[in-house]
A and B are shown apart, each in its own frame.
Chain A
Amino acid sequence: MNDVTGAERSPWRRDPWIALGAATVFACILMVLPAPEPADPPGGPLPETNFAVVDVTVFDGEEFRPHRDVWVEDGRIRAAGQRLALPDGLPRVDGRGYTLLPGLIDAHTHTYGMVLNDSLRFGVTTVFDQFTMPSLAAQKRPARERLARTGESDLFSAGNLATAPGGHGTQFGVPVETLTSPGEAPAFVAARKEEGADWIKIVWEDGGTFGADIPTLDRETIAAVIEAAHAEELLAVIHASRLEHSLAALEMGIDGFVHVWGDEVISEEDAVRFAEAGVFVIPTLSVRVAAAGESMGPELLETTEPEYVSPMQRQTLTQTFPRPVGTSEAAVESVRRLHAAGVRILAGTDAPNPGTGFGISMHGELRLLERAGLSAAEALAAATGVAADAFGVEDRGRLARGRIADLLLVAGDLESDLSRTTAIAGVWKDGFPVEAAWATPQEPQ
Chain B
Amino acid sequence: MAVNTARRGLLWHVRIALLETRFQFLSSLRLPAFAVPTLLFPLFFYLFFAVVFQAGGPSLTAPTYMLATYGVFGIFAPSIFGFGVGLAQERDSGALLLKRTTPMPTFAYLFARVGTAAIFGAVVVLLLFLLAGYAAGVELHRWQWFALAGAILAGVLPLSALGLAIGAWAKQQAAVAVVNLVFIAMSVLSGLWFPISMLPGFLQDFANVLPAYHLGQLALKTIDLDLGRPLWFHLVLVGGQTALCLAVAAAGFRRFSGR
- Chain A residues near B (Cβ < 8 Å): 5-6, 10, 12-13, 15-16, 19, 22, 26, 29-31, 33-36, 55, 66-67, 71, 78-79, 81-85
Give 3 nearest A-B pairs by CB, closest first: A67-B224, A82-B61, A83-B60
Chain A residues closer than 8 Å to B145, beta-carbon distance: 30, 33, 35
Flag whether B225 is at the interface (Cβ < 8 A): yes
In the bound complex, residues from chain A placing their C-beta under 8 Å from that of B1 are 6, 10, 13
How long is the Cα–Cα vector from A35 to B225 in the complex, in angstroms?
17
Assembly CA distance A34 to B1 (angstroms)? 45
> Cα distance A67–B141 when bound, in Å?
13
Taking a contact as CB atoms closer than 8 A, the residue among A6, A15, A22, A84 that contacts B59 in the complex is: A84
Q: Contacts A12-B19, A34-B139, A82-B225; is A26 near B59 (CB within 8 Å)?
A: no
> In the complex, what distance in Å separates the CA atom of A82 from the CA atom of B225?
8
B interface residues (Cβ-Cβ under 8 A, vs A): 1-2, 4, 18-19, 22, 57-61, 64, 122, 126, 129-130, 133-134, 137-142, 145-146, 149, 224-225, 228
Q: Across the interface, do B58 and A34 meet the contact criterion of CB distance under 8 Å?
A: no
Closest B residue, CB atoms, query A16:
B18
Q: Are A85 and B60 in contact (CB under 8 A)?
A: yes
Chain A residues lying within 8 Å of B58, measured Cβ to Cβ, are 71, 78-79, 81, 84-85
Shortest Cβ distance from residue A361 to the other chain B in the assembled complex, whole angstroms: 34
| Interchain nearest-CB distance for A234 vs B (Å) | 37
A109 to chain B, nearest CB (A): 36
A10-B1, A29-B126 in contact; A35/B142 too (CB < 8 A)? yes
16 CB < 8 A contacts A-B = A12-B22, A26-B126, A29-B126, A30-B129, A30-B142, A30-B145, A33-B140, A35-B140, A36-B141, A67-B225, A78-B58, A79-B59, A82-B59, A82-B225, A84-B60, A85-B59
Q: Are A35 and B139 in contact (CB under 8 A)?
A: yes
Separation in Å of the B249 CB from the closest CB of chain A?
A: 27
The answer to whether A6 touches B2, judged by C-beta atoms less than 8 angstroms apart, is yes
Contact A66 B126, beta carbon cutoff 8 Å: no
Residue of B nearest to A55 (CB): B224
How long is the Cα–Cα vector from A34 to B142 in the complex, in angstroms? Answer: 8
Complex Cα distance, B142 from A33, in Å, reads: 8
CA distance A19 to B139 in the complex (A): 28
Checking A30, A36, A83 against B146 with a beta-carbon cut-off of 8 angstroms, the contacting residue is A30
Shortest CB distance B149–A (Å) = 6
Chain B: minimal CB distance from A99 (Å): 15
Q: In the complex, A272 Cα to B19 Cα: how many Å?
A: 75
Partner of A34, one of B134, B146, B228: B134
Contact status of A30 and B134, CB under 8 A, knowing A84-B60, A85-B59: no
Known A-B contacts: A5-B2, A12-B22, A33-B130. Give 15 more (CB < 8 A).
Answer: A22-B122, A30-B145, A34-B134, A34-B139, A34-B140, A35-B139, A35-B145, A36-B140, A66-B228, A79-B58, A81-B59, A82-B225, A83-B138, A84-B59, A85-B137
Q: Are B138 and A34 in contact (CB under 8 A)?
A: yes
Question: Bound state CA distance, A12 and B21, in angstroms?
Answer: 11
Residue of B nearest to A8 (CB): B2
The residue in chain A whose Cβ has the minimal distance to the Cβ of B145 is A30
Q: Which single residue of chain A is at the shortest CB-CB distance from B119?
A: A22
How many whole Å from A383's CB to the nearest CB in chain B? 25
Partner of A83, one of B2, B61, B134: B61
Residues of A within 8 A of B2 (CB): 5-6
CB distance from A64 to the nearest CB of B (A): 11
Closest to B63 in A: A83
Question: Given the complex of chains A and B, what is the CA–CA distance between A143 and B14 in angstroms?
Answer: 74
> Are B224 and A66 touching (Cβ within 8 A)?
yes
In the assembled complex, which residues on chain A have CB atoms less than 8 Å from the CB atom of B142? 30-31, 35
Distance between A74 CB and nearest chain B CB, rounded to angstroms? 15
A15 near B130: Cβ-Cβ < 8 Å? no
What's the Cα separation between A317 and B210 when bound, in Å? 58
Report the Cα distance A5→B59, complex, angstroms. Answer: 63
> Which residues does chain B contribute within 8 Å of A84, judged by CB atoms?
58-60
| Docked-complex contact A29 and B130, CB < 8 angstroms | yes
- Given the complex of chains A and B, what is the CA–CA distance between A15 and B22 in angstroms? 8
Q: Tell me, in angstroms, the Cα distance from A36 to B4 when the chains sit together.
A: 55
| B133: contacting residue among A34, A78, A81, A85, CB under 8 A | A34
Specify the chain B residue showing the minimal Cβ separation from A33.
Answer: B133
Give CA–CA (A238, B126) in the complex, Å.
64
